[in-house]
Structure 1
Amino acid sequence: MSKAIMIQGTGSNVGKSMLVAGLCRAAKRRGLSVAPFKPQNMSNNAAVTSDGGEIGRAQALQALACGLKPHTDMNPVLLKPETDVGSQVVVQGHRIATVKAREYAKLKPTLMTAVVESFERLKASHDLVIVEGAGSPAEVNLRAGDIANMGFSQAADVPVILCGDIDRGGVIAQIVGTQAVMDKVDNARVAGFMINKFRGDPSLFDDGYAMITQHTGWQGFGVVPWFTDAWRLPAEDALDIRSGPQNGSLKIVCLVLSRMANFDDMDPLAQEPNVSLVMLKAGEVIPADTNLVIIPGSKSTRGDLDYLRTQGWDVDLAAHQRRGGHVLGICGGYQMLGHTISDPDGIEGVAGDSAGLGLLDVATQMIPDKRLSTVRAMHAKTDLPFDGYEIHIGRTDGRDCQRPFAFVDGNPEGAASPDGRVMGSYLHGMFSDDAWRAAFLRSLGADAGGLSYSGAVEQALDALADHVETHLDVAGLIAAAR
Structure 2
Amino acid sequence: MARVLMIQGTNADVGKSLVVAGLCRAFTRRGLTVRPFKAQNMSNNAAVTVDSDAPPRADGTPVRGEIGRAQALQALACGAPNSVHMNPVLLKPQSDMDSQVVQRGRVLGTWSAAGYQTMKTDLLPAVVDSLHRLAAESDLVLIEGAGCGSERYLRARDITNMGLAEAADIPVILLGEDARGGITASVLGSHQLWTTSERARVQGYLVNRFRGDPAVFAPAAEDMTRATGWPNLGLIRWFDGAARLAQEDSLALDQQHSSSGPGLRIVVPRLPRVANFDDLDPLAAEPGVDVRWIPPGQPLPRDADVVLLPGSKATRSDLECLYREGWHHDIHTHVRHGGHVVGLCAGYQMLGRVIRDPEGIEGPAGDTPGLGLLDMETTLTGDKRLLDLDARDRLSGEALTGYEMHMGRTAGPALETPWLILEDTEGTRPEGARSANGRIMGGYVHGLFAADGFRRHWLEGLGARSSSLHYAQRVEATLHAFAEQLEEDLDLDRLWELAQPPGLK
TM range (shorter): over 0.9
- Residue 248 of structure 1 deviates from its aligned partner by 4.4
Q: SS in structure 2 opposite 1:289? A: coil
What is the distance in 2 between the residues matched to 1:461 and 1:161? 21
Counterpart of 2:233 in 1: which secondary structure?
Answer: strand
**What letter corresponds to residue 26 of structure 1 in structure 2?**
A
CA deviations on 1:380-406 (whole Å, 9 max, x unpaired) are 642433112100000111111111111
| CA drift at 1:428 | 0.3
Amino acid at match of 1:410: T
**CA displacement 1:406-450 (0-9 Å, x = unmatched):** 124422221111111011101101011011111111101111131
Q: Which residue of 2 is the match for residue 22 of structure 1?
A: 22
Measured at CA, do residues 30 and 365 of structure 1 come closer, stay the same or move farther in structure 2, by a change above 3 Å?
A: same
**Corresponding residue for residue 216 of structure 2:** 204
**Residue matched to 1:316:** 330
Report the Cα distance in structure 2 between the residues aligned to 1:200 and 1:316, rounded to whole angstroms: 46
Q: Distance in 2 between matches of 1:360 and 1:385?
A: 26
1:315 CA displacement: 1.3
Question: In 1, Cα distance between the equivalents of 2:388 and 2:364?
Answer: 30
Q: Of 365, 378, 403, which residue of structure 2 is paired with 1:364?
A: 378
Q: What do you get for the CA RMSD once the two structures are aligned?
A: 1.3
Residue 414 in structure 1 maps to residue 436 in structure 2: no
Is 2:459–2:465's contact at 8 Å kept on the other side of the alignment?
yes
Q: What does residue 288 of structure 1 align with?
A: 302
Contact (CA 8 Å) 2:48, 2:403: kept in 1 or not?
Answer: yes
Query: How far apart are 1:214 and its partner, in Å?
Result: 1.0
Matched residue, 1:164: 176
| Corresponding residue of 1:459 | 477
Aligned-residue identity in percent: 50
The alpha carbon displacement at 1:96 in A equals 1.3
Hey, what's the Cα distance between the residues in 1 that align with 2:138 and 2:441? 44
Residues 141/460 of structure 1: CA separation in 2 closer, same or farther (3 Å cut): same
**2:346 match:** 332
Paired letter, 2:351: L
Take 1:282 and 1:208, find their aligned partners in 2: how far apart are those partners? 41
Question: Structure 2 stretches of 5 or more lacking a match?
Answer: 52-63, 501-505
Deviation at 1:377, TM superposition (A): 4.2
Matched to 1:36, the amino acid is P
Deviates more, 1:72-81 or 1:180-189: 180-189
Counterpart contact for 2:357–2:365, Cα < 8 Å: yes
Q: Which residue of 1 aligns with 2:205?
A: 193
Corresponding position of 1:450: 468
Residues 1:343 and 2:357 are matched in the alignment:
yes
User: Could you report, residue by residue, the CA deviation over 1:115-142 in whole angstroms, capped at 9, with x for unpaired residues?
Assistant: 0111001001000000000011221111
User: Could you tell me how far 1:292 is from its partner in structure 2?
Assistant: 1.2
In 2: Cα distance, 1:473 partner to 1:434 partner: 37
Are the equivalent residues in 2 in contact too, given 1:246–1:277 (CA < 8 A)? no
1:471 CA drift (Å): 1.6
Q: Write the distance in 2 (CA, Å) between the matches of 1:271 and 1:78.
A: 28
Tell me by how many angstroms 1:316 deviates.
Answer: 1.1
Counterparts of 1:177 and 1:213, CA distance in 2: 13
Correspondence list, 1:292-307, <5 A: 292-307=306-321
Q: How much has 1:277 moved relative to structure 2?
A: 1.3
Q: Is the 8 A contact 1:379 1:407 kept in 2?
A: yes
Change (3 A) 1:8 1:363: same
Q: Which residue in the other structure is 1:401 paired with? A: 415
Residues 447-472 of structure 1, C-alpha deviations (whole Å, 9 max, x = no match): 11311100000000011111222222
Structure 2 residue identity aligned to 1:400: A
Deviates more, 1:301-310 or 1:409-418: 409-418
- 2:448 alignment counterpart: 430
Contact kept? 1:248, 1:273, Cα under 8 Å: no
Opposite residue 84 of structure 2, the aligned amino acid is T
Cα separation, 1, equivalents of 2:262 and 2:498: 47
1:20-61, Cα deviation, whole Å (9 max, x unpaired)? 000111101111111100000000000001222100000000
Do 2:287 and 2:467's aligned partners in 1 also have CA atoms closer than 8 Å? no
Match of 2:83 in 1: 71
CA distance in 2 between counterparts of 1:376 and 1:61 reads 19
Amino acid at match of 2:486: V
- 1:7, 1:131 within 8 Å by CA — same for their partners in 2? yes
Matched residue, 2:486: 468
Alignment match of 1:388 (pick from 390, 399, 402)? 402
**Equivalents in 2 of 1:76, 1:270: separation in Å?**
31
Instruction: State how far apart, in whole Å, the 1-side matches of 2:47 and 2:479 are.
Output: 18
Query: Which is further off, 33-42 or 287-296?
Result: 287-296
Contact 1:137 1:182 (C-alpha < 8 Å) held by counterparts: no
SS of corresponding position for 1:303: helix
CA drift at 1:244: 4.5
Query: In 1, are the aligned partners of 2:395 and 2:421 still within 8 Å (CA)?
Result: no
Task: Kindly provide the amino acid, as one letter, of the partner of residue 259 in structure 1.
Answer: R
Alignment of 1:40-119 (within 5 A): 40-51=40-51, 52-119=64-131
Question: Which residue of structure 2 aligns with residue 269 of structure 1?
Answer: 283
TM-score normalised to structure 1 length: 0.98
Q: Partner amino acid for 1:48?
A: V
Shift of the alpha carbon at 1:379?
Answer: 3.6
